[in-house]
C-alpha cells in the first residue's frame, strides 16, 4: 500500500459539498452509523488518490477438503465401531 502522510480528512474536504460530510470530517463520528459513513468517506478518498489496498493472500490448498472426503472418513469410522 502506498503510504501518504497527508491528513485525509482535510484533503477530502475540498471534494465534498455535503454539509453532513463536512461535519463528519471536521468533528468526527458520534455514533456507530456515523463511523460507518466516515469509513466510506475514507475509502472514497483512497479511490480519489488512487491508493490500492494489498490483495489478501489466498489460502490455496491449506485445510481444504471436500464434503465427500468428510463423509467417506465418517462412514469408515462408523464401520469400525
- d(Cα 35, Cα 29) in Å, to the nearest integer? 5
Confidence (pTM):
0.60
Tell me the HSE value of 43 on the side-chain side, using a 13 A CA sphere: 7
- d(Cα 70, Cα 73) in Å, to the nearest integer? 5
> Does residue 78 surpass a pLDDT of 80?
no
Range 3-7 average pLDDT: 66
pLDDT in tens, 19-33: 999 999 999 999 999
C-beta separation of 9 from 27 below 8 A? no
pLDDT in tens, 12-70: 999 899 999 999 999 999 999 999 999 999 999 999 988 887 777 776 666 666 777 77
C-beta separation of 7 from 49 below 8 A? no
Name the CA radius of gyration of the chain, rounded: 24
Amino acid at each position: 500500500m502506498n503510504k501518504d502522510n497527508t491528513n485525509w480528512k482535510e484533503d477530502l474536504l475540498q471534494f465534498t459539498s455535503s454539509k453532513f460530510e463536512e461535519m463528519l470530517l471536521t468533528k468526527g463520528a458520534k455514533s456507530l452509523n456515523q463511523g460507518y459513513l466516515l469509513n466510506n468517506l475514507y475509502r472514497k478518498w483512497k479511490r480519489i488518490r488512487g491508493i490500492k489496498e494489498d490483495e489478501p493472500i489466498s489460502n490455496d490448498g491449506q485445510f481444504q477438503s471436500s464434503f465427500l472426503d468428510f463423509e467417506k472418513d465418517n462412514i469408515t469410522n462408523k464401520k469400525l465401531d
